[in-house]
Chains A and B, each alone.
Chain A
Amino acid sequence: GENVEQHPSTLSVQEGDSAVIKCTYSDSASNYFPWYKQELGKRPQLIIDIRSNVGEKKDQRIAVTLNKTAKHFSLHITETQPEDSAVYFCAASSSNTGKLIFGQGTTLQVKP
């Protein structure tokens, strides 16, 4: 079945720096790749997603890139702010199953 690996597990950056989180997936039929942000004690919330027919998508300070050949996708956050501190999850969904498989999560700490 599908497996999603996420790295790093923790990431600490200075405010204003960029942060990059990477995920790899195993199922070549995967065609939908969302990213969720979860603040402490809160529910996961979608921040950006990308489909397999697109290589890159950007929304203000957040961007996601997808390399279908290598089966990996990445989240890029520029000009980080303390409120970006949270746990970030990547996920992949196969058109065959429709189920989301999540990565293990990355705890991002942005130091003021």
Chain B
Amino acid sequence: DAGITQSPRHKVTETGTPVTLRCHQTENHRYMYWYRQDPGHGLRLIHYSYGVKDTDKGEVSDGYSVSRSKTEDFLLTLESATSSQTSVYFCATEPGQGSNIQYFGAGTRLSVL
């Protein structure tokens, strides 16, 4: 599983509160991604990172921000959670250097009430 740890695994929060999800990897993979998974939508890219302090927006980035201060950690922050952000969030890593294979973490189930 490429040494990817997501925390927390489950979280319930209230509308309007900030939430931070953490993705930690031990494989020294260059690229890291945050996806959300919702029924009927597959996996949609929120933000991604090509390296330390090098991030960019995906297709559903509104309401989310990310930070990558170290190779091994990629944080996803919901500045002010809304009910529409209730979802399962997956982090993925990719080695780079010619390999396009993405390895996924176990996911975080977030409920915004």
User: Which residues of A are interface residues toward B (Cβ below 8 A)?
Assistant: 1, 6, 9, 32, 34, 36, 42-46, 49, 89, 91, 93, 98-105
Contact = CB atoms under 8 A, between A and B. Distances in A.
Interface of B: 1, 31, 33, 35, 40-45, 48, 58-59, 90, 100-107
Contacts of B45: 99-101
B104 A44 contact: yes
Given A45-B104, A89-B42, 5 more contacts: A43-B107, A93-B100, A98-B31, A98-B100, A99-B48
Nearest to B91: A43
A2 B107 CA distance: 25
Contact of B104 (A43, A99, A104, A105): A43
Contacts of B103: 46
Contacts of B106: 42-43
B104 to A, nearest CB: 4
Contacts of B33: 99-100
11 contacts: A34-B100, A34-B101, A36-B104, A43-B104, A43-B105, A43-B106, A44-B90, A44-B104, A46-B101, A49-B101, A104-B40
